[in-house]
Amino acid sequence: MTTYEHETPQEALARYPGGMALRALHMLIFAILFGFAETLLLLLALLQLGWMVFSKKRNPSLAQFGDQMARWLRDVARFQSGASDDKPFPWKQAGQ
């Protein structure tokens, strides 16, 4: 795991070539999107629960979507916390 404990301000700026103002803008956008994703995840969980109660099995499409959403939320949390400089979808480059 990477730690930025002893990082200088110049090293921090070098890690994010767009500058801190651009990073702050991205962080604000992702904070808003994260809130929407939380609501969507709650609705997905309730839908999956209803599906499981009535059919006695899980819906594979909902489970797969939930897994993809969990990965996106993880990527956003890592970006927001400064653990990563890789921006999540939709800014994430193909193949990353």
Q: Collapsing DSSP states into helix, strand and coil, what is residue 62? A: helix
Q: What is the secondary structure of 18-54 as a DSSP string?
A: T-HHHHHHHHHHHHHHHHHHHHHHHHHHHHHHHHHHH
Instruction: Parse the chain into domains and list their residue ranges.
Output: 33-83
Tens of pLDDT, residues 31-71: 999 999 999 999 999 999 999 999 999 999 999 999 999 99
User: Would you tell me how many other CB atoms lie within 10 Å of the CB of residue 77?
Assistant: 14
pTM for the complete prediction? 0.76
Nearest-angstrom CA–CA distance, 54 and 43: 17
